[in-house]
A and B are shown apart, each in its own frame.
Chain A
Amino acid sequence: MSARGSLWQRIVGGLIGTLSLAALGGVSVSASAAPPPDFVEAIDVPWDAGGVLIVSWRVDGDPSAITGWLIERREEIDGAKWVTVSELPAAAREVTATKLSHDHAHRIRVTAFGESGQLSKGLETAPTLAHANFFIGAKLPLFVGILVVSTCVIVFILSARAGRPIKIRRIAALDAVDNAVGRATEMGRPILFIAGIQDMDNISTVAGITVLGHVAKTAAEYDATIEVPTSRSLVMEAARETVQASYLSAGRSDSYNPDLIRYITDEQFGFVAYVSGRMVREKPAACFYMGCFFAESLILSETGNSIGAIQIAGTAESTQLPFFVAACDYTLIGEEFFAASSYLSREPDQMGSLKGQDAAKLITAAAIVIGVVLATLASLAPDGAFPAALTWFKGVLGS
């Protein structure tokens, strides 16, 4: 609906524009009260994404007769027409023409109009190309920011590779994996792993599959059974590959059984009904919920709690976190969930990048604090140097 609406608006707007131009054009022939500009110049803006020209002009004669300016542009191709860029008040001597094509040069025409609307003779610029530059100067703060973040990451990766220990705070939920798998082993019951109800394009599902690799490896070492019902076929494939790799690396490839990793249904509640039923019947001793969850979070975790399983959840859905925290033994909260893969693998590259990202977050947090303090001071003492400092700081951050 909205797309069609806007189309209509454009067509109507276009018609009105054309009509008014024609009307203006018609008036311009009769009078010459407003003097034309004496000099017009169009300059390509340096260090920009292109398509922008700054047009400036001068009037040597008496400007009092001028009531406004009409700025038009024309592309340097055959058959191109003059298009209005803007209409400006009399005092204006400069305008920025935007949204110009990068491919061709443009001529800009500046025309003055008087009280009764008569137009002066227009003055055109030479054809000027609005270049797209290699580097957009306005994005410099962003560039610096990226540099800082990447440097942090690289420095930490290199130092981790060099063997400098990187401390990651203990994540109780991940340390508890051994505990949960051990419980399942001792009780002779299976482990249930749910990688959320979204497909592999969801980053949470990917993180969940990473954790699955670790859980499956532990299960293989303990020789416990792990079941992975999935609600997407692709997730099932990914889970099978991951679990198989884990069994292989644990040296128990003979114990891997792909039939325990199966696709149930895409339907949210069909899947939940299956899993809940399975939990009640099989009574798994350990349940893992790692991925993207919605309304089913509490249904699953409450069922798991009622059968006495150790439950470990991990999700980035802030709305589902309280349910998991209340019903599960351990919960990976947001970032922890994504940090899990580096925490588990202890690979220097992953650990370094995690640490580097943390450093970048620290810098961002510091910038926020500085901004808040400056803005507060600026509002309290508007006459002091703070408003200027705030403006400068905003400029630095590129906003």
Chain B
Amino acid sequence: MAKAYTPGLKVTPRTTYQARRLLPVPGTVKVKHGDRVTADMVVAETFLEGDVFPIKLAAMLGVNPRELPELMLKKTGDQVAVGDPLARTKGIFGMMKTEAKSSAAGVLESVSDSTGMVIIRGPQPAVQVRAYVAGTVVEVIAREGVVVETSAVYAQGIFGVGGEIWGPLVVAATGHNADLLEGDITESMKGAIVLGGARMTAGAIRRAREVGVAAVISGGIDDADLRDVLGYDLGVAVTGSEKLGITLLVTEGFGDIAMARRTYDLLAATAGRMASVNGATQIRAGVMRPEIVVPIDGGGTGEVFGGGATAGLLEVGTRVRIIRDPHFGVLGTVSALPEQPAVLGSGSKARVLEVAIEDGSRVTVPRANVELFGE
């Protein structure tokens, strides 16, 4: 078998990108089919169910739960504010009445006569979904959301933290193999998507947060710096919901590693355009990689892409990236795909392939340790 499927990251100068913008629960869609939208435009909105506050009313009044319903001053469905009396005991000859006040605001949802508990449902928080990328609404899913489509320069990263953000793309690095340093970040980059080269240094991240940069894209990051940013050691790569005020995205991996020249050149060419970045990464169950979308003018390629995992065919001549030490980060072309498993340095037997590296040499690595690089 001279071919094999292997995972890869998508980096392409032109694709038709579709973003499905859906509400977590049904609500109202605010745009129509064919509308032009910008990234920060609200396309759908809903109200979530409020928080639930149980109050042990019978115990507060010192009465049997069964008596509670007739002592209630509020009916189910009534609005309740903090401090409102909820129920009052009958007292003795109309005297010595005890009153129980609400400790939560919301709507009285239920009164239980078996446990003496009442449930108050808090106010409904609004949930808004924005367009995320500038483009055209191509589909409206009733009560759920829309699909926004645009032609775009598209690049998947390998790992990111922080959620969806958008802003103008600014090149800060001097080249694809130059570390992003503190001095590369300037005040003018507030709200921008900053493109770095190799590793983003701790100083650069700190400066970017001070300045108010929207997102930093770079080749690599040091584990220790990531821990500083997050405040904890990340155990499982499920990210995107951090509240950091900045989105960080790396295209290659951890450590000192240059961004692939092609990715860098592609993104650097879009400098000044509005870009959308999502740092959300989820390696397990339904692989999700962070992405950079830069909407461009003109038509797409016809191939519609909506993010997610990609995989492709591995054959002689395929461009690959080696993704494990001792050749971590090296780019090259598959030059041979031996049939028989080979014994690795570790003593394990595994199927391997030979990669011709750009400097002319050839290395043999396990097939599991490469990923496709390119479209």
Does A pair with B? yes
Query: What chain A residues lie within 8 Å of B60 (beta carbons)?
Result: 254
In angstroms, Cα B60 to Cα A20, docked, is 85
- Does A255 lie at the interface of the complex (its beta carbon under 8 Å from any beta carbon of B)? yes
Q: Is A257 close to B, CB under 8 A? A: yes
CA distance A257 to B56 in the complex (A): 13
- Specify the chain A residue showing the minimal Cβ separation from B57: A254
- In the bound complex, how far is the Cα of B56 from the Cα of A36, in angstroms? 98
Q: How far is the CA of A254 from the CA of B86 in the complex (A)?
A: 15
B59-80 with Cβ < 8 A to chain A: 59-60, 62
Q: Is there an interface contact between A255 and B56, defined as CB atoms closer than 8 Å? A: yes
Interface size of A by Cβ–Cβ distance < 8 Å? Answer: 3
Contact with B along A241-268 (1 / 0, CB 8 A): 0000000000000110100000000000
Measured between alpha carbons, how far is A255 from B54 in the docked complex, in Å? 14
B39-68 Cβ-contact flags toward A at 8 Å (1 or 0): 000000000000000001001101000000
Which residues in B have their C-beta under 8 angstroms from that of A255? 56, 59
Nearest Cβ distance between residue B199 and chain A, in whole angstroms? 38
Q: How far is the CB of A256 from chain B (nearest CB, A)?
A: 9
In Å, the complex CA distance between A190 and B116 comes to 18
Closest to B62 in A: A257
The answer for the CA separation of A254 and B102 in the assembled complex, in Å, is: 13
Kindly list chain A residues whose C-beta atoms are within 8 Å of the C-beta of B56: 254-255
* Least distance between A201 CB and chain B CB atoms (Å): 33
Chain A residues closer than 8 Å to B59, beta-carbon distance: 254-255
Give the residues from 101 to 155 in chain A that come closer than 8 angstroms, CB to CB, to chain B: none
Q: Which of A252-290 contact B (CB under 8 A)?
A: 254-255, 257
In this complex, what residue of A is CB-closest to B58?
Answer: A254
Against B, the Cβ 8 Å flags (1 = close, 0 = not) of A220-257 are 00000000000000000000000000000000001101
Complex Cα distance, B62 from A197, in Å, reads 30
Closest to B55 in A: A254
Contacts of A254 in B (CB 8 A): 56, 59-60
Q: How far is the CA of A255 from the CA of B56 in the complex (A)?
A: 8
The smallest C-beta distance from A378 to any residue of chain B, in angstroms, reads: 67
- A252 CB, min distance to chain B CBs, angstroms: 8
CA distance A362 to B139 in the complex (A): 83
Show 6 A/B contacts (Cβ-Cβ < 8 Å), sorted by A: A254-B56, A254-B59, A254-B60, A255-B56, A255-B59, A257-B62
Chain B positions near chain A (C-beta within 8 angstroms): 56, 59-60, 62
Closest 4 CB pairs of A and B: A254-B60, A254-B59, A254-B56, A255-B59
